[in-house]
Amino acid sequence: MRRKLSLLLLIALISLDRPSVADQTQPASPFVMGYANRLSCEPGEEISFHLSASGPSVDLTIQRLGKESVEVFKKTDIACATHPIPDRASSHGCDWPSAFSITIPKDWETGYYETKMHVKDGDKSASGSLFFVVRSAEPGKNTKILLQLSTNTYNAYTNWGGHSLYSYHDRDGVQGHRVSFNRPVSSQFAKWELPFVKWAEQNGYQIDYAVNSDLEFHPEILQQYKLVLSVGHDEYWSSPMRDHLEQYIRDGGNVAFFSGNTCCWQVRSEDDGRALTCHKQGYNTDPIYRQGDHGLLSTAWSHHLVERPENELTGVGFLWGGYHRSHGQFMDGPASFEVHRPDHWLFENSQLKRGDRFGGKDTIVGYECDGCEMEWKDGLPFPTHRDGTPKTFTILGSCPARWAPGDSLWYDRFPKDRVGAAVLGVYTNGGTVVTAGTTDWAHGLSGNDPAVIQITRNVLDRLGSK
């Protein structure tokens, strides 16, 4: 019996040095990776960095990204260790301990902050990064324009630790339906919002910053702004986010969607905003599917069971849009908007005339596009309003777009070969809402397209001025 107990004890001791069978394999050394415990915070609040590294210490720098990159903090030799990557890291997070915390200084500007980590492991080294946003300590004091970043989309596309909300780039081809922010998340800020931010800050526009979930958990800040911006690829929205922004519009607030594929999928926030659930085209696997009330079903907002097409918020939607110069659709297309109503204030001082096209040099119509059902009369397009597009919506520009094969499986009542359009337009419902109907509008700003610049100025100056 004693020999048996000794053998069991030896086996137990050996197993302590082995990773749990549920843990995932660590990356090859050297490595450093991490996440912050907050997506956004105000000056005076504390933020913690949860890191895992192959070496015993990490050097860390923080810089604000805007019209230029400005280093605001540096610290060396932060004690660190290698921590397990749980089997369900992508859906339920890593639960790593905090390696370092900082109270955001009072003089840090609102903006997007990138934390860069550097580790040495023997004679080799490696780097990693994470991000967070600093909100204004006094919302609306220095500007009446708020940019909310598409952080839900960043998370949805990140497959670190197992799965994303997509199957085509996951480790085993399985599409996840829950993603956690408590893991290294791949930021898409540099691809989508940064070109807009650089142009705006270089041209004297001051902007306050927030993240998607601030619309859900800090909706009180909206009251301090005249204009809220969505830029790039703002695809995943929760019902509270949408409720609060729609109320803001009804109360007279303005919104500009310089974005596409906007508010396409409904998500539900969990773990106090540290995770998202979205069953997408597998809506019948969502636990609430069989509960009868489908208003919060985590599928396409335009799905007939949800009955809340994104057009009601943005004026347009992916259901009547699709792809342009992407996914094999219109790969030789003009990538530009045709002007339909040049006398509208949106085109003021642009020198554009009816039938002109703009933005093609910089492919401002590209990747994913939103549109509305429309009919043509005397050579001009008019919304039918059958798709939820507001009665006051005016179509100002358009460019052909189309779904990719297979997209019709997401919407079980629509044909797969329908040609839609990216639609540039505007409506009023208390406040004014402008939509660009394309993810790639900011390409025209970074490319110095005069029409794109003038239209953007018209929107910011008219709808966001003090």
pLDDT block averages, 10 residues each, the chain of length 466 = 38 37 89 98 98 97 97 98 97 98 98 97 93 98 98 97 84 85 98 98 98 98 98 98 98 98 98 97 93 93 94 96 95 98 98 98 98 97 97 98 77 68 98 98 98 98 92
Asked if residue 199 belongs to a domain, the reply is yes
How far is Cα of residue 334 from the mean position of the Cα atoms in its chain?
Answer: 26
My answer on whether 337 and 417 are in the same domain is yes
Asked if residue 283 belongs to a domain, the reply is no
Asked if residue 82 belongs to a domain, the reply is yes
My answer on whether 253 and 394 are in the same domain is yes
- State residue 413's pLDDT score: 59
The span from the CA of 53 to the CA of 33, in Å, is: 6
User: Residues 6 or more apart from 390 whose CB is under 8 A from it?
Assistant: 311, 312, 315, 427, 429
My answer on whether 118 and 228 are in the same domain is no
My answer on whether 125 and 196 are in the same domain is no
Single-letter amino acid, residue 228? V
Domain boundary among 71, 104, 134: 134
My answer on whether 438 and 357 are in the same domain is yes
- State residue 29's pLDDT score: 95
User: Residues 6 or more apart from 3 whose CB is under 8 A from it?
Assistant: none
Edge-to-edge strand order for the sheet containing 57-65?
A: 40-41, 124-134, 111-121, 57-65, 69-79
Q: Considering its fold, how many domains does the chain have in total? A: 2
- State residue 404's pLDDT score: 87
- State residue 7's pLDDT score: 38
Query: Of 185, 159, 179, 180, which Cα lies nearest the Cα of 170?
Result: 159
CATH number at residue 327: 3.40.50.880
- State residue 407's pLDDT score: 72
Which tokens sit at 143? 């500007």
Cβ proximity of 172 and 159 under 8 Å:
no
Asked if residue 296 belongs to a domain, the reply is no
My answer on whether 48 and 196 are in the same domain is no
Which tokens sit at 184? 């290294």
My answer on whether 331 and 441 are in the same domain is yes
My answer on whether 101 and 242 are in the same domain is no
CATH number at residue 122: 2.60.40.1930
My answer on whether 71 and 202 are in the same domain is no
My answer on whether 453 and 330 are in the same domain is yes
My answer on whether 319 and 442 are in the same domain is yes
Domain that holds residue 455: 145-150+188-264+308-464
- State residue 412's pLDDT score: 55
User: Which region, left, alpha or beta, applies to residue 129 given φ > 0 means left and ψ of -120 to 50 means alpha?
Assistant: beta
User: Which region, left, alpha or beta, applies to residue 52 given φ > 0 means left and ψ of -120 to 50 means alpha?
Assistant: beta
Domain boundary among 110, 134, 158: 134
Quick one: three-class SS letters along the chain?
CHHHHHHHHHHHHHHHCCCCCCCECCCCCCCEEEEECCCEECCCCEEEEEEEECCCEEEEEEEEECCCEEEEEEEEEEECCCCCECCCHHHHCCCCCCCEEEECCCCCCCEEEEEEEEEEECCEEEEEEEEEEECCCCCCCCCCEEEEECHHHHHHHCCCCCCCCCCCCCCCCCCCCEEECCCCCCCCCCCCCHHHHHHHHHCCCCCEEEEHHHHHHCHHHHHHCCEEEEEEECCEEEHHHHHHHHHHHHCCCEEEEEEECCCCEEEEEEHHHCEEECCHHHHHHCHHHHHCCCCCCCCECCCCCCCCCCHHHHCCEEEEEEEECECCECCCCCCCEEECCCCCHHHCCCCCCCCCEECHHHCCCCEEEEECCEEEECCEEEECCCCCCCCCCEEEEEEEEECCCCHHHCCCCCCCCCEEEEEEEEEEECEEEEECCECCCCHHHHCCCHHHHHHHHHHHHHHHCC
My answer on whether 368 and 435 are in the same domain is yes
The span from the CA of 205 to the CA of 5, in Å, is: 73
Asked if residue 314 belongs to a domain, the reply is yes
Asked if residue 162 belongs to a domain, the reply is no
- State residue 20's pLDDT score: 46
Asked if residue 287 belongs to a domain, the reply is no
